[in-house]
Structure 1
C-alpha cells in the first residue's frame, strides 16, 4: 500500500507514471530536421524495441484467429532480396490483421537439414550442425532488423532432435498404416551429390534440381511413402471451396497428379530378388482375368535381366503372381505395345482389351472370352476389388497411370534418421517409440555418411533382441517441411507431435506465402501429409492452406558478353543506351546483352539487403519492395523507381511537421465557404482512400496498389491551405488514417509520424482516435455511413453498371431491392434483350461494395479457374 504525504506528491507520482508510459510512445522531436537516411536510422533504432504487438493465444474467446505463414527459410547464412520480399509481405498482412482485431499467428523457423549445409560443412571440415547454427544466428539478426513481427517464441529448426523426433513419429504412423515401405526400384541418382532423387527433383531435361548434374539410373532398395493412396483425395481436394487464389497452382497440381481413372495393385514377383511390382489398370473389375504383364526396357524387371538386345519382345524368367486368384502371370519385355505416358508397364487383359488381345494372339497366350459387365455390375465389382485389395494390403488405390510414390531415402548424413532397425531374422522393424528420437551421431564432419559410423549403426532387434543394424538412409528434407505448419501451433509439446485440440482451433493456415518454385514438391507433399493426418482424425480439414499468395521473384539487371555468354559485374560494363539495352565491355568494347534475371552471385546481379538497409533504412526498403509491382509479379530491382518512395516519405514527414506547426500557432482563418469546401474535400478523400487502401489490403492483397492509394491520400492532404491543417476535424481524421494505414508496411516510420501527430494541441476528434495509444493501438479505419459505395450490377458475372449507394443503405439492401435497382439500369436492360432471367445473387462486402449478379439462360463461357468474385482474406 502506498501512502502519499501531500497532494503535490500525488501529482508528481501520477506525472512520473504517465511519463514512464509515454516514453514508449514519444517522438524523437526531430521535426525541424530534414528526413535523411540518418534520421530514418535514428527512428528505427528508437522504435525497434518499442513497437508492441499481441502474441497469438490459442482459442481466444473474443478474437477470430488468423494464421499467416510465410514459407520458412533455409539457413544459407544471409538474407537475399527474395527473403526481404516474402517476409515484408507476410509482416504487412500480419500487422494489418492485428489492427483489425484478429488473433494473429505469424511464426518463423528454419528448414535446416539438407545437402547445401552438408556440402558446405564438408568443404570446411566441420560438423553441419555447427555450420547451420551459425547461419541461423546471423540470419535471425537480419530478420529482426527487417522489423518483422514474428512469434519468435515459436521458433524451431528442423535439424533439432526436439523437432525431428516428431518427424520420425510421423514416419512410424505412415509405416503402421502400410504407407511407408521399402522396395528395390530403378531410381534417379545424382552423381555429384551422391544421393537418390525423387521424380519431382529431376527437371524435364533429366538434370538434378540442386547440382544440375545429369541424373543416372540405379537399382537400389529405398524407402517410399505411398502418396498414390491419397491421389484421388488430393485431386478432389483442389475443388474444395475452402481454397482461394490457388489458380495456377491448382493447374500444376492437377497436371502432376493426373486423372485418377484407374487402380494400382502390388503383385508379388517370383523368380526374382524383386519383392513386388506395382501395376496400374483402368479395368480393375477384370483383374482376375490378367493373362500377361508387358513391360518396357526401362522397367526394373527388364533391368534386372540385363537385356541389352533390342528385340521387339522377350519373355522373362520372372513370373508375377495374381493376388486375387494365385495364378502366375508371364512377363514380356516388348516394344509392340505403346505404353501410356510416364508408364513402363501394361496389364494384359485380353478378351476385354483389343490391344491386349492382339498381343496375346501374336504370342500364343491362351485366354477365355470375357462377357463385358454392364455399368452397374462393373461399378459393384470394382468396389469389391478395391475393398479386398485394401484389406490384403496390396493397394487398391484410385490413382493415375503416371503418378509415382514419394521416394524419401537419401544417402547423406545431414537429415532425419529413418527410425527402422534391420534384423536378418525378423526383417525391417520400427524403432520403439520409447527409443525416439534416433539421434544423428555427433561427428567431426559428414564425409563418410552414416554407414561410416559402425558403432552408431549397431543396434539390438526390438523383436528378438539379436544383433541388428540401424537404417543408414536419412529422409528427404521435404518430409521435415511437409508438416512444420502444424508444429508451429504447438512447438513446446514434448508428449506428441501436437495437441489436436490446439490444431482444431488454429488450422487451416489462412494465408500461405511463398514462391511458385514450390508448387509441385512442397505443396504436394504438405497436402498429402495433411490429408493423411485428417484420415487419422488429427487435423480438422483435409486441406492445410486456405489462401495462397505466390510471390514473384526479385530480379536483378545482368550483363552478359554476347559472344562468350560470360556474366560481368556492372562496373565492367559501359552502358550506351539503357532503354535500348545497348552496352559494351569497358576493356574491349565487346557487345553486352542486358537482361533482367533472378538475382544470383554467379550472374553478378544480386543486391545485398544489408547494404540497402544501411543506405535507405529498413522501412524505406520495405516500401521499395512492396511498391510499384503486385506481390505475385516479378520485381525488377531498379533504383530508377526509388525517388517516388523517397519523395513520398519526405512529404509525409513535412505533412506532420506542418500539422504540428499550424496546430501550435494557427494561421489566420479563411472564408467559411472556402473552409467548408476544403473540409468536404478532406471528408471525401478520407473515405475514398480508406475504401481503396483497405480493399487492396484485404480483398485483392495487391499491396502495391495500397501503396499507390496512400500516396494519393498524401497528395490530397498537401493540397489544402494551412488554415485547414489548423482547424479542420476532417483533415485531422484523414491524416490519422494516412498514418494508421501506413503502419503495417513501415512500422517504425509510422510510429514516429503517429507520435508527432498525437503530440499536437487542439485535438478535434476524440471519438475515433485513441490519443493515449500507439499507432498499432488504433482501430483500422472504415468509411463513414453516409459515404456512397458501389453497387456493382452484373449479368452472368460480367459488370454492366455501377450504382452509388450510401453505405448505411447498401448494407440494409435485400436481394430483391438490389435486383430492382439493377433492373432499372439502362446498361442492364440492353444486355438482357433476348435473354430470360433465371435467378440472381446478391453479395455484400461490408464497407466495400455490393454485387448483384443476374443469371440468364445465355451465359457467356467462363474459365473454370477464374472468378470475378472478390477474394476475402
Structure 2
C-alpha cells in the first residue's frame, strides 16, 4: 500500500473507483435517523476521511491552522472537544477552498502534573506521559479530527527538546540568557519556583495550594525585555487580524516602553565586587551619569541579603544605608544605596536611581541623607533640546548594549523571563560548571541533546532527583576537559511551547530545529485557536521567540500568528448548598418543589454556570456524549447556539434543535432519492413550463445564494460558526418547502441540496459524506454536465460553492454612522467595486442627496467583503446657509 499511496495519480484513480462502488448503495435511507445509524455512518467513513487529509500539491497557496497543543492528562474534556472541533472545521473549510492546509497536533508533555502523578503512582514520568498520549490520541481520532499525524511531536521527546536546547544556546550566544540571584516564589510542597502568575490572590500555589514562600535562589533568565519595544510595536503590525482585546492584554503585559533598564555591579565597603547585580530602571537614561544614589524599597532583595560586613553603615527613621555600593558602569563612580520609602518607585520596581539634578524628590532625599550632588559628567552635558536628549539617550543605550548591561527601551513593570525549575520532568538546561574554568560553560551543539537520566521511580517530593543522578550529574568540562557537573535546573515548559509551531513545519529535520525555507513557505500561522488563559504569557513568550529568531535570520516574519480565535470555556451547571458552599452532584438535588433543595436534608441549593470540574460535579465526559449522540452530532452541539469566543453553557435543553435539524436533513435526502428514483411516475415533463415551477426554482436560486453568502462570511470573516449553522438550517427549511415536482425536476433545487451538504461537511464530515453518497448515487441528474460538482469524488473533495455572479448583493451606504440605504448589485459588479466607484454610486442616489446636499464630506471609508457585501462610510459636516447659497450661485 505504501507504494500505491506514494503515487498520487494511481491513488486518486483508485479512490475514484472505490467511491463509485461505495455510492452504488443508498444505505438505510428509509429508516429513521437513530444514534445506532449515526455510529454505523461514522464507522463507515472514519478511515476514508483521514486518508483525504494529505495534500502533496505544492502549487496551492498555504493555510496554517494551529490549535494550542494540549497537556497529555490522559482524558479529553469538553474544552478540548470545542477547540479541536473548531480547528478541524476550519481546516476542512480551507481545504475545500483550494488551500494547502497545515493542521498539526502534538503534546505539551513536560511539567509538574506528570511528575507529581508519577510520584503518586510509583512509575516513571515518561511511561505515564506516553500512555496518556496514546489514549488522548485515540480520543482525538474518535472525534474525527483531520490532524496530520505525521507531524506529531511531544516536547518530552529528545528529538524535540534537542532543539529547545539548541535555541537556548543561540539565546546564550547572543547575550540573552543569564543567571542571577533573585527573590522568587517558592512552592514548599512542589519544591519549585513559581512565576508570579502561578500564585493566586491569597499567595497560594495554583497547583498544590500551599502558601508560597519568598526565597533567594540563583536562577536562569532570558532577557525578554531586550525585545520589549519590538514586541510592543509588533502589535501594530498589519499582519495581525482579529486580535480584538488580546492586543490590549499584550500591551498591558509589556507596558509603555518609556524607559531603560541597566545592570549595576555591587561592591561591598571593601571595594570587593560581589556576585550580585542590581537592575536599575530610569525614564531618563540620558542623565544616568549624573546619578548620586540608589534607593531600594524595604523588604526588597537587597534589604534581605546577609552581608559579610556590618549590617548597615548608617540608619535613622528616614533611611537605612547599606554596606554595599553600586558601580555606575558609565562613570565608574560608586553610588551609595539606601533602604527607604521616602522616594517614589516606578510600577513593578523596588529600586530607584536618584538623580537630584533633574528631580526635586531626589534632591530633597539627597539633602536629608547628606549625599553630595554630582556635577554634570562628560557624557551628560546640559541638554537644551529634544534632539540633544535623543542623541544623549541613544549614546548611553548603545554603550549599555555593547557592555551587555541593558540599554533597551522597556517598561518598569516588565520582567525578564525566569525559566529555572527545580524539578526533574523538564528540558535539561545545557550548561555545566567547572571548578577550573570561570563561570558556566555551554554544552557544545554536537553533544546535544542533553537527555534526562532514566529514573525508574521518583520516590517523593523534595530535592530534584537530578541532584542524586551521579552518573548523569558528573561530566567533563567542554572547555578544559576537567571534572564538571551539569546544571540540575530544568526549563520552564513555556520554553518548550514558545516555538513548537515552527517544528511542526519540519518535524523530521535532524540538522536544525526547522529549515528556513519551510518557515518562509508556511509562516506566519494563518489561524491560531486556543483558550484565553494562554492569551498573555504563552502568546508573549511565543512572540518573543519568533522576534528573536527573526533577528538572527531564521524566520521571515517577526509576528508568528496572523489571526487569533480565542474560544470561550465550556461551562457546566453546578449546585451548592446555600450557606456552606458545598458542591452537590445533580442527582442529590430535589427539583420537585418551588426551589431546589438537597435530598434528605431539605437545605436550600443555589445553582450557577461554572467551568467544568470534577470537584464541582458539573463535568461531562466526552466519551459519554459521543456514545449517546455520535461524533458529528457532538461536533454540531459544541459549535451551535453561541459564538466560538463566548462561553458555552452545556445543557441538554439546547440539544433538540440540532437533533431535529439532522433528522430533517435525513428526510430531505430520503425524499430526494425516492422522487428521483420514481421520477417518471411522479413528475411529468410539462411541469417544467408552469409558473409555479419557475417561481419555486427562483426561490431556490435565491435561497441557495442568500444562505451560502451568510455561511461563507461566517466561516471566513466573522468566525461565528453558530451563525453559520443557523444559516444552514435556514437553507434546510427552504429545501423542505418545495413540492415533489421541484425535487424531481428542479436544477436550482439540485444545486441548493448539493450546496447544503457541502457547507455542512467541515462541521459534520461523516454525516455529510453519507448524505453526499446518497446525493451522487441518485438517478436522473440535472446538473451532471457542469463542473460545479465533482460527481465521482467525496464531499470533502468538492470545491466550496460560490455565490452566482448574477445574484444581487448589497452596497450598504452609511452616513455619519447611520445606515441610510442598501444598493443591490450583481455579485460580478460588487466584487470589482472600488472606493471611488462606491462613493460615486452612493452620491448619485436621489434619496441620499438630502443627507449630503448642504454638507461637506469630511472623510470616507470603503470595506469590501467579496461575495458578501460592501460598505461605504461617509462622514459629513453642515455648511453654513450663506456659504451654501454662495456655492449655489456659483
What's the TM-score once normalised by structure 1's chain length?
A: 0.93
How far off its partner does 1:464 sit?
1.3
Alpha-carbon distance, 1:52 to partner: 5.2
One of 788, 793, 800 as aligned partner of 1:780: 800
CA contact (8 A) 2:16 2:793 kept: no
Partner of 2:856: 836
Q: Within 5 Å, which residues of 2 pair with 1:812-851?
A: 812-825=832-845, 828-832=848-852, 835-851=855-871
2: distance between equivalents of 1:16 and 1:343?
Answer: 68
SS at match of 1:135: helix
Alpha-carbon distance between aligned partners in 2 of 1:85 and 1:430, rounded to the nearest angstrom: 43
SS state of the match for residue 318, structure 1? strand
Write the mapping of 1:315-714 to structure 2, written as runs, cut at 5 A.
Answer: 315-368=321-374, 371-426=382-437, 427-446=439-458, 447=460, 448-576=464-592, 582-666=595-679, 667-669=682-684, 670=687, 672-714=690-732
Match of 1:154 among 130, 147, 151: 151
- 2:106 partner SS: coil
Which residue of the partner structure matches residue 199 of structure 1?
A: 196
Shift of 1:325: 1.1
The residue that corresponds to 1:257 in the other structure is 254
- The whole-number CA distance in structure 1 between the counterparts of 2:16 and 2:55 is 29
Give per-residue Cα distances to partners, 1:798-822, cap 9 Å, x unaligned.
Answer: 6432211111222344433321221
Q: Post-superposition shift, 1:836?
A: 2.1
Q: Distance in 2 between matches of 1:94 and 1:26?
A: 29
Is the contact between residue 352 and residue 372 of structure 1 (CA under 8 Å) also seen in structure 2? Answer: no
What SS class does the counterpart of residue 382 from structure 1 fall into?
Answer: helix
Is residue 755 of structure 2 the alignment partner of residue 737 of structure 1?
A: yes
| CA 827–640 in structure 1, closer or farther in 2 if over 3 Å, else same | farther
**Residue pair 2:221, 2:416 contacting (<8 A) in 1 also:** yes
Residue 65 of structure 2 corresponds to which residue in structure 1?
68
CA–CA separation in structure 2 for the residues paired with 1:771 and 1:648:
25
Output one character per residue of 1:274-318: Cα deviation in whole Å (capped at 9) or x when no partner: 421111100100111111000012321111048899953100001
Alpha-carbon deviation of 1:57?
Answer: 6.1
What CA distance in whole angstroms lies between the structure 2 residues aligned with 1:820 and 1:576? Answer: 66
> Could you tell me how far apart the structure 2 residues matched to 1:567 and 1:314 are?
52
Give the SS at the match of 1:50: helix
Computed over aligned residues only, the root mean square deviation of the Cα atoms, in angstroms, reads 2.0
- The 8 Å contact of residues 24 and 50 in structure 1, kept in 2 or not, is answered as no
Map of 1:11 onto structure 2 = none
CA contact (8 A) 2:262 2:405 kept: yes
* Alpha carbons 2:23, 2:777 under 8 Å: kept: no
Q: Could you list the per-position Cα deviations for residues 298-355 of structure 1 after superposition, in whole angstroms to 9, with x for gaps in the alignment?
A: 3211110488999531000011101101111110000111212221010001111111
Q: Secondary structure at the match of 2:694?
A: helix
- Per mean C-alpha deviation after superposition, the further-off stretch among 657-666 and 334-343 is 334-343
Alignment size in residue pairs: 840
Match of 2:886 in 1: none
Following superposition, the deviation at residue 837 of structure 1 comes to 1.5
Q: Does 1:267 align with 2:250?
A: no
Contact between 1:839 and 1:854, CA under 8 Å: does it hold in 2?
A: yes
Compared CA separation, residues 560 and 833, structure 1 to 2 (3 A): farther
Distance in 2, matches of 1:453 and 1:799, equals 72
Alpha-carbon spacing, 1:797–1:451, altered in 2? closer, same or farther (3 Å): farther
Structure 1 residues 813-822 or 335-344, which shifts more? 813-822
The farther-off stretch of 627-636 and 348-357 is 348-357
Farther off after superposition, 281-290 or 662-671: 662-671
1:411-434 alpha-carbon deviations (Å, 9 max, x no partner): 000000000001122120100111
More divergent stretch after superposition (284-293 vs 21-30): 21-30
Counterpart secondary structure, 1:836: strand
Contact 1:25 1:773 in 2 (8 A): no
Match of 1:137 in 2: 134
Task: Confirm or deny that 1:285 pairs with 2:305.
Answer: no
Q: Is the 8 A contact 2:19 2:794 kept in 1?
A: no
- Cα deviation, residue 22, structure 1: 2.4
In the aligned structure 2, how far is the partner of 1:236 from the partner of 1:200?
24
**Structure 1 residues 53 and 683: alpha-carbon distance in aligned structure 2, compared to 1, 3 A threshold:** farther
Q: Distance in 2 between matches of 1:77 and 1:25?
A: 38
Alpha-carbon distance in structure 1 between the residues aligned to 2:146 and 2:711: 21
Mark the runs of 5 or more structure 2 residues left unpaired by the alignment.
1-12, 377-381, 879-890
Distance 1:24 1:267, change over 3 A: farther
Where in structure 1 do 4 or more consecutive aligned residues deviate above 6 Å?
15-18, 306-310
